[in-house]
Amino acid sequence: MNEEQSGGGTRSFRLHNNQIPARPLEPALYLVATPIGNLGDITLRALETLAGADVLACEDTRVTRVLLDRYGIQNKPYAYHEYNADEAGPRLLQALEAGRSVALVSDAGTPLVSDPGYRLAVQAIEAGYKVVPIPGASAPLAALVGSGLPNDAFFFAGFLPAKDKGRRDRLAELASVPATLIFFESPHRIAATLAAAADVLGGERAGAVCRELTKTFEEFRRGTLSELAAFYDAVDNVKGEIVWLVGPPAENVAAEADVDAILADLSGTMPTAKAATEAARLTGLPRKELYQRLLDMKERHG
């Protein structure tokens, strides 16, 4: 990464058949958001940054090359991903130390959101280098504004664990968060994930599944978690990238005595951990708090 920018030093991008020169960038790590599907969703500032950076790092050079070719950018992308971060990361930091500008992109969307770029950004900050976000497309925000679910407060939780127990435990931890929950999921796991969500969070809770955002076959499917789980259980081959959301829990003002009664009733028919999970769903109270409360109740009553 010590050579000059490829393309004979040309720093420009093409827009509507006009080649536009890119201004020099000050030394910094630039975190550049790229389109999540529709290449027209790139920003002018992002194009100028991709064209003008001394070093351009990306997850997959083939994916980023498609974007660069679309806008006539001759900069050469270098791979930086979870499998080569130990080797590529120090080289990028050395470029920053040498006073060069480094642009980092993910395959789609905003860098650092569910990709290995976070590690590099933290290292750059700890080393005292300037970090500059170049905002743009974001799958979680696109899904949120199109879902029809409350957006005054939201919580992005990324991917749930792949195994069923870990998935359910994590959902139970999030059950009482007073906000719309946003998740990523792979198409082959979405049916099982929605079934677990309906079971842990309550089938009547509102949700939405957003598939192939900004692409030709973009789809928003809205309904209760039970309805969504039933729909995807009946689909043989789900395709595309998925963001799914769950609306906030209903407000619950259960009295102390009511909570104890619920815990006592549930613990009579199921194990302590499961009873606490179900009580969290019914009351909107934190599962950890209810679990400890149930243990205290059992100790008091022998």
Query: Which pLDDT tens digit goes with each residue over 73-88?
Result: 999 999 999 899 999 9
Any idea which of 101-110, 195-204, 293-302 has the lowest mean pLDDT? 293-302
Are 159 and 274 within one domain? no
Are 266 and 230 within one domain? no
164: which residues sit within 8 A by CB, 6+ positions away? 192, 196
**Is residue 116 a part of any domain in this protein?**
yes
pLDDT score at 3? 45
Are 205 and 237 within one domain? yes
pLDDT band at 218 (very low <50, low <70, confident <90, very high): very high
**Does 175 have pLDDT greater than 60?**
yes
**Is residue 233 a part of any domain in this protein?**
yes
What average pLDDT does range 155-164 have in this prediction? Answer: 96
Query: Which pLDDT tens digit goes with each residue over 177-213?
Result: 999 999 999 999 999 999 999 999 989 999 999 999 9
**The whole model's pTM is what?**
0.80
Radius of gyration of the chain (CA): 24
**Does 146 have pLDDT greater than 90?**
yes
Are 287 and 263 within one domain? yes
pLDDT score at 4? 47
**Is residue 3 a part of any domain in this protein?**
no
Q: What is the CATH number of the domain that holds 171?
A: 3.30.950.10
Q: What is the number of domains present in the chain?
A: 3
Rounded distance between C-alpha atoms, residue 157 and residue 155, angstroms: 6
Write down the H helix ranges in the chain: 44-52, 61-70, 85-97, 117-126, 139-147, 164-174, 190-201, 225-233, 256-267, 272-283, 287-300
What average pLDDT does range 53-78 have in this prediction? Answer: 96
Rounded distance between C-alpha atoms, residue 85 and residue 133, angstroms: 20
**Is residue 1 a part of any domain in this protein?**
no
Side chain identity at 99, as an amino acid letter?
Answer: G
Rounded distance between C-alpha atoms, residue 129 and residue 96, angstroms: 7
pLDDT band at 301 (very low <50, low <70, confident <90, very high): confident
pLDDT score at 53? 98
What average pLDDT does range 57-68 have in this prediction? Answer: 96
Are 290 and 176 within one domain? no
Q: What is the CATH number of the domain that holds 90?
A: 3.40.1010.10
**Is residue 5 a part of any domain in this protein?**
no
What is the chain's length? 302
What average pLDDT does range 120-144 have in this prediction? Answer: 97
Q: Which of 80, 107, 136 is the last residue of a domain?
A: 136
Are 225 and 273 within one domain? no
158: which residues sit within 8 A by CB, 6+ positions away? 113, 114, 183, 184
286: containing domain: 254-298
**Does 40 have pLDDT greater than 90?**
yes
**Is residue 17 a part of any domain in this protein?**
yes
Any idea which of 79-88, 120-129, 225-234, 271-280 has the lowest mean pLDDT? 271-280
**Does 9 have pLDDT greater than 70?**
no
Question: How much is the mean pLDDT over the chain?
Answer: 91
What average pLDDT does range 62-82 have in this prediction? Answer: 96
Are 191 and 263 within one domain? no
pLDDT band at 300 (very low <50, low <70, confident <90, very high): confident
Are 17 and 93 within one domain? yes
pLDDT score at 187? 96
**Does 223 have pLDDT greater than 70?**
yes
pLDDT band at 8 (very low <50, low <70, confident <90, very high): very low
pLDDT band at 7 (very low <50, low <70, confident <90, very high): very low
Q: Do the beta carbons of residue 245 and residue 207 sit within 8 Å?
A: yes
Are 200 and 238 within one domain? yes
Q: What is the DSSP string of 219-261?
A: EEEEEEHHHHHHHHHT-S---S-EEEEEPPPPP----HHHHHH
Rounded distance between C-alpha atoms, residue 144 and residue 251, angstroms: 21
Query: Which pLDDT tens digit goes with each residue over 14-30?
Result: 999 999 999 999 999 99
Are 132 and 233 within one domain? no
**Is residue 21 a part of any domain in this protein?**
yes
Query: Which pLDDT tens digit goes with each residue over 239-252?
Result: 999 999 999 997 75
Q: Indicate the pairing of strand 29-32 with strand 102-104.
A: parallel
Q: 129-133 long-range CB contacts below 8 Å, 24 or more apart?
A: 129/27, 129/28, 129/29, 129/93, 129/96, 129/97, 130/26, 130/27, 130/28, 130/29, 131/28, 131/29, 131/31, 132/28, 132/29, 132/30, 132/31, 133/30, 133/31, 133/33
What average pLDDT does range 86-109 have in this prediction? Answer: 96
**Is residue 60 a part of any domain in this protein?**
yes
Q: Which of 86, 103, 136 is the last residue of a domain?
A: 136
Residue 237 β-bridge partners: none
Are 130 and 200 within one domain? no
Q: Do the beta carbons of residue 31 and residue 137 sit within 8 Å?
A: no
Are 21 and 73 within one domain? yes
Q: Which of 107, 136, 165 is the last residue of a domain?
A: 136
Rounded distance between C-alpha atoms, residue 127 and residue 263, angstroms: 51
Burial class (CB in 10 A: 0-12, 13-18, 19+), 300: exposed
